[in-house]
Amino acid sequence: MLYKVHYTLLLPLFAWIFIQSAPNINAQNQGRVVSFPEIDSLLHNSYDTLYVINFWATWCKPCVEELPIFEEINEIYANQPVKVLLISLDFIQDKEKVLLPFIKKKNIQSEIVLLKAENPNEWIDKVDMEWSGALPATLLINNQKKIRKFFEKQFKHEELQDIVTQLLKSEL
Amino acid sequence: MKKLWLFSFLLSCLTCAYIYAADGLKVGDIASDFSLKNVDGSMISLKDYSSSKGIILIFTCNHCPFSKAYEDRIIQINKMYAEKGFPVIAINPNDEISVPEDSYDNMKIRAKEKGFVFPYIHDATQQIAKTYGATRTPHVYLLKNNSGVFSIAYIGAIDDNHSDAENVKEKYLANAIESLMQNKSANPDFTKAIGCSIKWKK
């Protein structure tokens, strides 16, 4: 009950945040190198946006196979509070010669950042306790709606879309 | 309707949590033995190692860039610790149909190229990877010999920096071995690392 009252009082604030909509980290700068604290603060954001965060790498075959699924989500839900973020775990030294040409060749529209992944043991659990560290891995998160779903697997076609559609419908 | 949805959601969460907890061997468990084919054609089992203090069992493969990044470090670890009673066994669990580069024949080629002096065995049925609960390459299981029975002493990463061996700060595996040599438990006894997912048979 207390919970409900609390929530109602905050509704105008939620509405305001919703109107603000979630910002891009930096859409102009595909493949930008980030460190984990930036990802961590994104994981704790307060926007009413469903973040679809995929951990991948250009050399990871199942990751590359499922990329079009994320691109589709990015396109289909462009006008809804959905944000696709592709976090690459390519080697930092491969940014110019591997990652950037890959983004260009595949013409990837979803935002891509390159995670400077020092000591993964320190941050893998912060993404999700269930993550063993294997790629690909995907986290769906909307803190405001208390949505958090983690998958350590390759998605089949439409499977992810069904999940996103379901989560967008769900109210709490 | 909403309640039903919530209920089924909770139920599926519980089921997942159960499956997750039951998945694979944990630190302290008895290490399952196996008999798998080495690149030289011989069969390798834990029981062949009864005179060792332990075994460094590393799930790895040919194709994965993380595995490749660690090959020289694995060779180095074997060089350092085999004579102290902790030899390396490398084990490839990948499905060769998904990744032809990880076939048994290509394992032979890779072992020769890199000059592996330790066994590089083929988990062709993937049963051992499943039993141990390995999910990625490389994925280390450090085994300790307790009078002929091997138990799991450490699970996880080799160190904390896959891309740059020069800038490693935490040598998790080496530290765990050193602890065992002093009759202490590994601390930490479980770490995580980014790696290639094991390519399971479809």
Per the CB < 8 A criterion, the answer to whether A25 and A42 are in contact is: yes
- Residue B142 has φ and ψ, to the nearest 5°, of -90, 120
pLDDT recorded at residue A62: 95
Distance from CA of B59 to the nearest CA of A (A): 13
pLDDT recorded at residue B17: 43
Question: Which residue type, as a one-letter code, is found at position A8?
Answer: T
Average model confidence (pLDDT) across chain B: 92
Question: Which residue type, as a one-letter code, is found at position A146?
Answer: K
Per the CB < 8 A criterion, the answer to whether B174 and B112 are in contact is: no
pLDDT band at B16 (very low <50, low <70, confident <90, very high): very low
pLDDT recorded at residue B11: 52
**Per-residue pLDDT reduced to its tens digit, B128-167:** 999 999 999 999 999 999 999 999 999 999 999 988 889 9
Q: Which of B69, B172, B192 is nearest residue A132 as measured by Cβ atoms? A: B192
In this structure, the strands spanning A111-115 and A82-88 are: parallel
Is the model's pLDDT at B184 over the cut of 70? yes
Q: What residues of chain B lie within 8 A of the CB of A57, using their CB?
A: 65
Give the helix ranges, DSSP H, for B23-59: none
Tokens of B158: 């080799």
Q: Identify the three-state secondary structure at position B195.
A: strand
Q: Which of A93, A125, A133 is nearest residue B194 as measured by Cβ atoms? A: A133
In terms of CA atoms, which chain A residue is nearest residue B21?
Answer: A130
Average model confidence (pLDDT) across chain A: 87
Are A133 and B98 within 8 A, CB to CB? no
Domains and CATH numbers, chain B: 25-197 (3.40.30.10)
Distance from CA of B88 to the nearest CA of A (A): 22
- Residue B82 has φ and ψ, to the nearest 5°, of -60, -45
Give the mean model confidence (pLDDT) for residues A105-124. 94
pLDDT recorded at residue A170: 75
- Residue B171 has φ and ψ, to the nearest 5°, of -90, 80
Per the CB < 8 A criterion, the answer to whether B137 and B195 are in contact is: yes
Give the mean model confidence (pLDDT) for residues A32-48. 95
Strand order in the sheet with A134-135: A134-135, B195-197, B136-137
- Residue B47 has φ and ψ, to the nearest 5°, of -65, -15
- In sequence order, what are the residues at sequence separation of 6 or more whose Cβ sits closer than 8 angstroms to the Cβ of residue B155? B25, B26, B27, B139, B140, B141, B142, B189, B190, B191
Is the model's pLDDT at B19 over the cut of 70? no
pLDDT band at B116 (very low <50, low <70, confident <90, very high): very high
Distance from CA of B191 to the nearest CA of A (A): 6
Are B163 and A152 within 8 A, CB to CB? no
Per the CB < 8 A criterion, the answer to whether B54 and B142 are in contact is: yes
pLDDT band at A7 (very low <50, low <70, confident <90, very high): low
DSSP for A138-170? Answer: EEEEETTTTEEEEE-SPPPTTHHHHHHHHHHH-
In terms of CA atoms, which chain A residue is nearest residue B168?
Answer: A119
Is the model's pLDDT at A33 over the cut of 70? yes
d(CA B202, CA B196): 17
Distance from CA of A80 to the nearest CA of B (A): 23
Question: Which residue type, as a one-letter code, is found at position B135?
Answer: T
d(CA A77, CA A146): 20
Q: Residues in chain B whose beta carbon is closer than 8 A to a beta carbon of chain A?
A: 20, 64-65, 69, 98-99, 135-136, 156-157, 160-163, 169-170, 172, 188, 191-199
Domains and CATH numbers, chain A: 2-169 (3.40.30.10)
d(CA B171, CA A141): 33
Q: Which of B65, B169, B196 is nearest residue A134 as measured by Cβ atoms? A: B196
Maximum Cα–Cα distance across chain B: 65
Among residues B8, B91, B81, B113, which one has the least CA distance to residue B45? B91
CB of A60 within 8 Å of a chain B CB? The answer is yes
Which is more confident, B41 or A22?
B41
Burial zone of B108 (CB within 10 Å; 0-12 exposed, 13-18 middle, 19+ buried): middle
CB of A118 within 8 Å of a chain B CB? The answer is yes
- Residue B155 has φ and ψ, to the nearest 5°, of -130, 135
d(CA B142, CA B150): 10
Report ipTM for this prediction.
0.83
CB of A131 within 8 Å of a chain B CB? The answer is yes
In this structure, the strands spanning B149-156 and A50-56 are: unpaired
d(CA A106, CA B35): 44
**Per-residue pLDDT reduced to its tens digit, A44-63:** 999 999 999 999 999 999 99
